[in-house]
Structure 1
Amino acid sequence: MTDARVTPVVIGIAGGSGSGKTTVVRRLTASLGDAHVSVLEHDRYYRDRSDLRLEERAALNYDHPDSLETDLLVEHVRALRARQAVEAPQYDFARHNRLEASDVIAPRAAIIVEGILIFADKALRELMDVKVFVDADDDTRFIRRLQRDIAERGRTVQSVIDQYLGTVKPMHLEFVEPSKRYADIIVPQGGHNDVAIEMLLTLARGLVARG
């Protein structure tokens, strides 16, 4: 499982905002073991827009593929597959800006790539051994996003609603939902489908064990 000669297994976890992706990632990490898993979240890679004022940054469309530096994520996944550590960017969601600091991500037996738009990029998809789409109904996803953005990102109720109606929902319909066709596995009911998740965990353990 830790043989440096073995190419890591890359598992993509996609799905709409609030679908339960983080829950699935946590279940996978716990099942495989922290020492054997590297996680790269796509939303670390929002472009640096420090050239704009806070109010201008807040008005940007963060749910369009162009808002993310996906080329850098592709570069990092390739490096991890080659057993090279990477410096993943950090992002401040309250101020809508990339930080100067970065996190060193070490190569491990399994690389989990997570994000709403990871299946929308062909180069990124082609690096994945398993592509999982976490599905949930729109109401559930909106409520989860509302709770998260208020509790963790310092947003107001109205700002979350405005962003959801203005960009999140339209971009979900244009980019996220269509990307589901690329998935190898679809997990209905978000992160609470124990049967589907257990099947995924069994598959992931087998892939990592085979190396």
Structure 2
Amino acid sequence: MKFAVFASLTATAAAFAPTAFVPSNLRGVAPSASSLNMALKEGQTPIIIGVAADSGCGKSTFMRRLTNIFGGDVVGPLGGGFDKGSWETNTLVSDLTTVICLDDYHLNDRAGRKVTMRTALDPEENNFDLMYEQVKALKDGKTVEKPIYNHVNGTLDTPETIEPTPIIIFEGLHPMHDKRVLDLLDFSLYLDISDDVKLNWKVQRDMEERGHSMESILASIEARKPDFDAYIDPQKQLADLIIEVLPTRLDQDDKKTLRVRCIQKEGVENFDPCFLFDEGSSIEWTPAPTKLSSPAPGIKLAYYPEEFFGKDAQVLEMDGNFDNIQELVYVESALSNTKTKFYGEMTQAMLALATAPGSNNGTGLMQTLAAFAIRDIYEKKTAAAKAKAGVSAAAA
């Protein structure tokens, strides 16, 4: 039976990669560029998601997993680069999803920040009034003219038109910093990368790939740390789901293997935490190597309750890497409340982005589970809105 599932997943992963995860109420709709203008039906309220993380913490890969899970053609970035008079954009759009980078709400350009001597992490360098106005307008189904922060030139460019879609994701440094914006979010996530892992990643990228010195890397990290600790890190206590990336506990000398925790708060509207084997238990599980092969130092999963900043939470954890994504279906069989539609869908989603960073460890797994949770929240809220509209129509 296991090999039949593996064969099915292998044969269909490529074919289903763009569209397999479309919400059930939208399956069968042919994706096209024009569907962007028709995606938000009259009276429909977009679902607003906030994703907070520091720069270089894997937000781009997470956004790919989120947009892929809703399917459809990816239309964007909107600006298309610098050819033929176009400009850079940070916005990604698919048939159902718009991803907006909160860097676009920087108050000053790069030159302006040299004058103020503040980092982009400082709230004083961000226009929260405009951010709130535009998040609210999009949630009300209105089109906005959103500014663009040009990461190449460090300039503030000509604003772009953003039309609301059913799911709108605001990702960046401060999605939960302003309470007005926080109150508009239907679900919030925080990508929490430990200092040790940040250093290892930055050394690999800047020292091994770009030739930077260790001294310059450490200086860059230390320059940002006070503002990160003061303004970015506190948002994790406000998030509904936190993906925490830590060094492995399987080998203290291993600097590359990761231990990833998915901290799922209880009592969040329309969200039920995923669990391993038995809900409410405390479990450590080392999968059989004949069913889930793993390179040294091995692999271990865990599930347990935890109090997180005074809130009850359920934690799902994976430490280590796996060799073959197809074998992840073995782990999938031990998980419940994954919000998948069928057995093997989680593994299929991982296969669709097999070459993306983290696809052989807990970062890809936890991001995929978070994406399914967002799909489930979207479908629940859409169903509730339809039911309310039906009751109102009947009463009239």
The TM tier, using the shorter chain, reads 0.7 to 0.9
Superposition TM-score, scaled by structure 1 size? 0.82
- Quick one: distance in 2 between partners of 1:97 and 1:195? 36
Deviations 1:84-125 (A, max 9, x none): 1111111123443312x1221110000101012222211111
2:161 to 80, 104, 122: 104
Summarize the Cα distance change of 1:45–1:16 in structure 2 as closer, same or farther, 3 Å threshold: same
Q: 1:174 to 1:47 in 2, by over 3 A?
A: same
Q: Provide, for residues 126-166 of structure 1, a one-character-per-residue CA deviation record: whole Å limited to 9, x for no partner.
A: 11010101111224335656848xx9xxxx87877544322
> What secondary structure is seen at the aligned counterpart in 1 of 2:95?
helix
- Find out whether 1:176 has 2:227 as its counterpart: no
Q: State the partner residue of 2:95.
A: 35
Gap runs ≥5 in structure 2: 1-25, 27-38, 72-93, 246-259, 261-356, 383-396
> Once structures 1 and 2 are overlaid, which stretch shifts more, 187-196 or 36-45?
187-196
Richer in helix (by share)? 1
Amino acid at match of 1:16: D
Q: 1:130 aligns with which of 187, 210, 214?
A: 187
Structure 1 residues 45 and 145: CA distance shift in structure 2, 3 A? farther
3-state SS, counterpart of residue 120 of structure 1 = coil
RMSD: 2.8
> 2:52 corresponds to which residue?
14
Task: Note the C-alpha offset of 1:188.
Answer: 2.1
Q: Would you identify which runs of 4 or more consecutive aligned residues in structure 1 move more than 4 Å?
A: 49-52, 142-148, 156-163
Change (3 A) 1:171 1:48: closer
Provide the identity percentage: 25
Q: Which has the larger radius of gyration?
A: 2
Rounded Cα–Cα distance in structure 2 between residues aligned with 1:144 and 1:87: 36
Q: Deviations over 1:25-71 (max 9, x none)?
A: 2210111131101112111111135985x8537x4322111111121
Higher RCO structure, 1 or 2 (CA under 8 Å, sep 6+) = 1
* Contact persistence 2:66–2:368 (CA under 8 A): no
2:149 and 2:103 mapped to 1: Cα distance? 8
Of 25-34 and 123-132, the range deviating more from structure 2: 25-34
Contact kept? 2:150, 2:156, Cα under 8 Å:
yes
Aligned letter for 1:64? D
In structure 1, what is the Cα distance between the partners aligned to 2:95 and 2:138? Answer: 15
User: 1:186–1:195: structure 2 CA closer, same or farther, 3 Å change rule?
Assistant: same
CA displacement, residues 165-204 of structure 1 (integer Å, 9 cap, x when unaligned): 22x2111111211211001001122873233222212221
The answer as to whether partners of 1:131 and 1:183 remain within 8 angstroms in 2 is yes
Specify every segment of 5 or more residues in structure 1 that has no aligned partner in the other structure, as ranges. none
Match of 1:74 in 2: 132
**Alignment partners' CA distance in 1, 2:49 and 2:110:** 32
